[in-house]
């Protein structure tokens, strides 16, 4: 970078044309190299990351369904307890019913996910077992 004059009269903060051209050449070289690296990166990593993200989302959904079922059942049981005065029993019954409802939702979701994955499982190549190689 060019900085003509130490007192700040001329060239303060300015870039000389030669420095500007050198900067543009370096920037275009870096851009070219980044494009080369992006082209060499395998697409499979992107697909694997997407699959992991989908699996994590499904896992969080299953956990949320179970927790929400228990929470709603507990809330309803607690509200009925306060309204009817049957202190612990309706809360316990609500928690158990909420757990059962949450578990039913989890099972329904797992079956739906399994049905969606079945064609992929059938299309996959079989893996040879160590014992099969005799």
90, 73 Cβ separation under 8 angstroms: no
Question: pLDDT digit string (tens) for 16-37?
Answer: 889 999 999 999 999 999 888 8
Instruction: Using a cut of 0.95, tell me whether the model's pTM lies above it.
Output: no
Question: pLDDT digit string (tens) for 75-132?
Answer: 999 999 999 887 889 999 999 999 999 999 999 998 998 888 888 878 888 888 777 6
Residue ranges per structural domain of the chain:
56-122
DSSP for 43-100 reads HHHHHHHHHHHHHHHHHHHHHHHHHHHHHHHHHHHHHHHHHH--HHHHHHHHHHHHHH
């Amino acid at each position: 970078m060019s900085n003509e004059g130490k007192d700040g009269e001329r060239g303060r903060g300015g870039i000389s044309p030669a420095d500007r051209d050198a900067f543009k050449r370096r920037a275009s070289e870096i851009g070219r190299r980044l494009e080369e690296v992006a082209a060499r990166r395998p697409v499979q990593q992107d697909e694997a990351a997407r699959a992991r993200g989908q699996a994590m989302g499904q896992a969080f959904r299953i956990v949320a369904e179970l927790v929400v079922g228990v929470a709603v059942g507990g809330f309803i049981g607690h509200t009925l307890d306060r309204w009817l005065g049957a202190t612990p029993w309706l809360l316990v019954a609500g928690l158990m019913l909420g757990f059962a409802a949450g578990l039913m939702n989890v099972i329904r979701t797992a079956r739906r996910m399994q049905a969606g994955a079945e064609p992929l499982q059938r299309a996959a190549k079989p893996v040879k077992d160590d014992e099969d190689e005799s």
